[in-house]
Structure 1
Amino acid sequence: MADIIELKATDLAAMLCSRVCHDLINPVGAIGNGLEVLGDPTQTAMAEGAQELIANSAKQARNKLEFARLAYGASSTAGTDFDTRECERVARLLFEIEKSDLDWQVPLILLPKHKAKLFMNMLLIATMAVPRGGLVTAKIDGAAGEEVFTLVSTSDPEKRQKTLMPSGVEELLFGNPEGGVDARGIQPFYTGILARMTDMELKIGVEDGVFTFSATPKPAEQAA
């Protein structure tokens, strides 16, 4: 097995910041375009469309920021545990701007901060498996401290769309991508870091049109 790539803290922070900027540049740019139209007296016929563009783009930017704050940042949640009700709130904001639907099967529990971040980043990867729409099921089972995370994604069969394995995700998750790590792949790489920090074992695959992504606690001797 190839050695796991170790990033400096400054490089990791820079790449995650770049990822957030990449997610926001399109909706923020669209807001700017809409404002330009509203400010141009010769474009009054397009004012209604510009207002709709600004509203939709502002919603996208806000929802992506809310998700990034929890999945990557410190968030404003007090203490070291995250309430899964906050995770659900942020997840549903994400799915308001995604093409897929969310089936949230998570009990009301407290999760250690890094485990909560792991689950939310796994959820984001699960959406990548159905980029044109489908259903993403998010589940947490098990006793406190022994939680098992399961994400299942399926495309809409009526639309004849394929469920995909996101490109390069497997190598990035396990920390040994052949071409190294850049800002484009930092999110799944960061997910792998969170899994190793929390002693969770990841499994990912696509079979018969179903994408399954799970994280289970490592045995105590293996974690040690």
Structure 2
Amino acid sequence: MDLETTLAQDLCARLCHDLVGPLGTVAGALDMLRDDPDAAELARDAAADMRRRLKFWRVACGGGTGSMAVAEITGLLDGLLSGGRARLELQGLDTDEELPAAVAQMLLVAALLAGEALPRGGTVMLLRENDGFTLRPEGRIVAWPPALLATLAGSAAQGPREVPAGLLRRHAELAGWMMRIVEREPALQLHPLQG
């Protein structure tokens, strides 16, 4: 099976995984509506979580997205990093700055992966550096997802949990950018390839 087909299948599986939990919460809350007055609020929260996840994946993977302001990127990541335990902070970036679609999609997925490097939560710093960007996860525990490290070493990402790493590589290739991990910081650097 070719790499594109595998990535599409794994992405579908990842979407199902990300949505099944909140959907189950909505269904359970609706069943309890008659007996528990707090069930409606639980259903609303779960529906908002599903909406947030769907909006993220629609932009991160969809075609025809168009350029995006940095503020839109940060809005799409709100509540998603490390399962809501991490937040995004900007440094050297103007929230009104418009980024090309390919770069915006690449940053969305890179930030998601930086959030996955913070299993106990923390902060993902998104910095403008020269002609590129650096994402620096900061928290009690920082451990890059093994799938990202394998992808940077040239391995193909396989399986729903590894989808963001494969997607990041694909977005970087399409945008003409390179990516690398700086272990000592730790940081993920993204820079355009020099023509």
TM-score, normalized by the shorter chain, greater than 0.5: yes
Alignment correspondent of 1:149: 133
Alignment of 1:23-34 (within 5 A): 23-34=18-29
Greater radius of gyration (CA): 1
Normalised TM-score (structure 2): 0.86
Which AA in structure 2 matches 1:74? G
Alignment of 1:16-165 (within 5 A): 16-39=11-34, 44=35, 47-74=36-63, 77=65, 80-94=66-80, 98-105=84-91, 106-107=93-94, 108-142=96-130, 147-155=131-139, 161-165=140-144
Deviation at 1:199, TM superposition (A): 1.9
1:214 counterpart = 2:189 = yes
1:219 is paired with a residue of what secondary structure? coil
Answer yes or no: is the 8 Å Cα contact 2:182–2:189 preserved in 1.
no
Deviation at 1:215, TM superposition (A): 0.4
Give the direction of change, closer, same or farther, for the CA distance of 1:181–1:119 in structure 2 (3 Å limit): same
Deviation at 1:110, TM superposition (A): 2.1
Which AA in structure 2 matches 1:151? L
Answer yes or no: is the 8 Å Cα contact 1:84–1:111 preserved in 2.
yes
Structure 2: runs of 5+ lacking an equivalent: none
1:176 is paired with a residue of what secondary structure? coil
Give the direction of change, closer, same or farther, for the CA distance of 1:173–1:22 in structure 2 (3 Å limit): farther
Deviation at 1:211, TM superposition (A): 3.1
Alignment correspondent of 1:191: 168
Which AA in structure 2 matches 1:218? L
Q: Deviations over 1:160-219 (max 9, x none)?
A: x32112123211245414xx6222212111101111222211111443xx5311101222
Alignment correspondent of 2:151: 172
Answer yes or no: is the 8 Å Cα contact 2:10–2:158 preserved in 1.
no
1:165 is paired with a residue of what secondary structure? coil
Alignment correspondent of 1:15: 10
1:204 counterpart = 2:193 = no
Structure 1: runs of 5+ lacking an equivalent: 156-160
Give the direction of change, closer, same or farther, for the CA distance of 1:70–1:185 in structure 2 (3 Å limit): same
What RMSD over aligned residues (CA atoms) do the two structures have, in Å?
A: 2.4
1:168 is paired with a residue of what secondary structure? helix
Answer yes or no: is the 8 Å Cα contact 1:126–1:211 preserved in 2.
no
Which AA in structure 1 matches 2:143? L
Normalised TM-score (structure 1): 0.76
User: Counterparts of 2:88 and 2:99 in 1: how far apart (Å)?
Assistant: 20
Answer yes or no: is the 8 Å Cα contact 1:141–1:149 preserved in 2.
yes
Give the direction of change, closer, same or farther, for the CA distance of 1:73–1:175 in structure 2 (3 Å limit): farther
Give the direction of change, closer, same or farther, for the CA distance of 1:168–1:205 in structure 2 (3 Å limit): farther
Deviation at 1:93, TM superposition (A): 4.9
Deviation at 1:85, TM superposition (A): 2.6
1:48 is paired with a residue of what secondary structure? coil
Q: Once the two structures are aligned, what percentage of the paired residues are identical?
A: 26
